[in-house]
Amino acid sequence: MRLGVLDVGSNTVHLLVVDAHPGARPLPAHSHKAELRLAELIDEDGAISDAGIERLIAVVHEALQAAEDKGVEEVLPFATSAVREAANADAVLARVRAETGVTLSVLSGSEEARLTFLAARRWFGWSAGKLLVLDIGGGSLEMAYGLDEEPDAAVSLPLGAGRLTAAWLPGDPPEPTDIRALRRHVRAEIARNVGPFARLGTPDHTVATSKTFRQLARIAGAARSADGLYVQRTLNRKSLEEWVPRLAGMSTGQRAGLPGVSEGRARQLLAGALVAEASLDLLGLDEVEICPWALREGIILRRLDHLPSPA
């Protein structure tokens, strides 16, 4: 069957269309993205602005039309931290439902971490052993660890690259004092949450997913996206430590000129790098392998698990 996952994230609204059935690898058929940056459309009261809601509704309409055009049989719509934590979340969800017919399922931070872990586990398989998965989104950082498909520890922290950039790094390039303050904040937040992971022992395989880690790996020398899904890509802590001060001295335009860095994500890259560097350091990791699958694939896989097997 042809499924569509409609991901209302903190940075983008992304419709991923796949051909899938139980027991088979989902095959991507179409991708429709719109840069929305909801994390930056939140007012001083913590609510998504009227303009942000209007834009969200328009983008959802566009995604639904794309899904219809591509013959999608079922759309799986969900929202993550930007909607989850908005002061007016209920009103936003009600308007989206009333004006588009879409009922967004709002994932908890723990659900995000667990579904991303499921995707990484299915990608790397049982031979990966004890798996530690990191994911930096626009609104949050997810960490999950386990031996099976359900992690033994999973946490979501308010350390997304978009959220932190909006709140802590107003300059372009940002002021050194602001960068230092953000670095302290990020490291204190992660340090408060590493205990449960440390108690589970050393992972056999460490994995990072999603756009921020992919872009950091690319500027550090990893293969291009055009080289295919199955090329191994890694990011090591030493490279991050070298790149953070370089990114700190760059303007948004300069970062956008780096290999693999999109214009829409360039402003957030420094905050993402600070979170990535702190995560690897405080978890005692020298390197992570980039996983092509993340939350959207986890949603698809969970849905397929509940479909009857073909006769």
- pLDDT average, residue stretch 135-143: 95
pLDDT in the model for residue 189: 98
Asked if pLDDT for residue 22 goes beyond 90, the answer is no
Angle between helices 237-248 and 269-282 (to 10 degrees): 150
Q: Answer yes or no: do 158 and 276 share one domain.
A: yes
Amino acid identity at 65: Q
- pLDDT average, residue stretch 30-55: 89
Residues 9, 234: Cα–Cα separation, whole Å: 25
Q: How confident is the model at residue 274 (pLDDT cuts 50, 70, 90)?
A: very high
Q: Answer yes or no: do 184 and 269 share one domain.
A: yes
Q: Answer yes or no: do 70 and 139 share one domain.
A: no
pLDDT in the model for residue 131: 98
Q: Answer yes or no: do 150 and 288 share one domain.
A: yes
What CATH number is attached to the domain comprising 180? 3.30.420.150
Q: Answer yes or no: do 157 and 259 share one domain.
A: yes
Q: What percent of the chain has pLDDT over 90?
A: 88
Asked if pLDDT for residue 309 goes beyond 70, the answer is no
pLDDT in the model for residue 32: 95
| 45-89 pLDDT per residue, tens | 999 999 899 999 999 999 999 999 999 999 999 999 989 999 999
> Could you identify the residue written with the tokens 């031979």?
127
Asked if pLDDT for residue 193 goes beyond 90, the answer is yes
173 part of a folded domain: yes
pLDDT in the model for residue 251: 97
Q: Answer yes or no: do 230 and 81 share one domain.
A: no
163 part of a folded domain: yes
308 part of a folded domain: no
259 part of a folded domain: yes
Using CB atoms within 10 A of its CB, is residue 258 exposed (0-12), middle (13-18) or buried (19+)?
Answer: middle
Q: How confident is the model at residue 42 (pLDDT cuts 50, 70, 90)?
A: confident
SS3 content of the chain, % helix, strand, coil (to 5): 45, 20, 30
The residue from 106, 134, 151 where one domain ends is: 106
Per residue in 6-45, is it b (16+ CB within 10 Å) or e — as a string? bbbbbbbbbbbbbebeeeeebeebbebbbebbbbbbbeee
301 part of a folded domain: no
pLDDT in the model for residue 310: 59
| 212-256 pLDDT per residue, tens | 999 999 999 999 999 998 999 999 999 999 999 999 999 999 999
pLDDT in the model for residue 231: 96
Residues 173, 310: Cα–Cα separation, whole Å: 55
- Segments forming the whole domain that contains residue 31: 2-106
Q: Answer yes or no: do 125 and 209 share one domain.
A: yes
Asked if pLDDT for residue 24 goes beyond 90, the answer is no
Q: Answer yes or no: do 153 and 195 share one domain.
A: yes
Residues 255, 247: Cα–Cα separation, whole Å: 7
Give the total number of structural domains in the chain. 2
Tell me the average pLDDT of the chain: 95
302 part of a folded domain: no
Q: Answer yes or no: do 30 and 122 share one domain.
A: no
Q: Answer yes or no: do 236 and 175 share one domain.
A: yes
Which pTM does this prediction carry? 0.95
Asked if pLDDT for residue 41 goes beyond 90, the answer is no
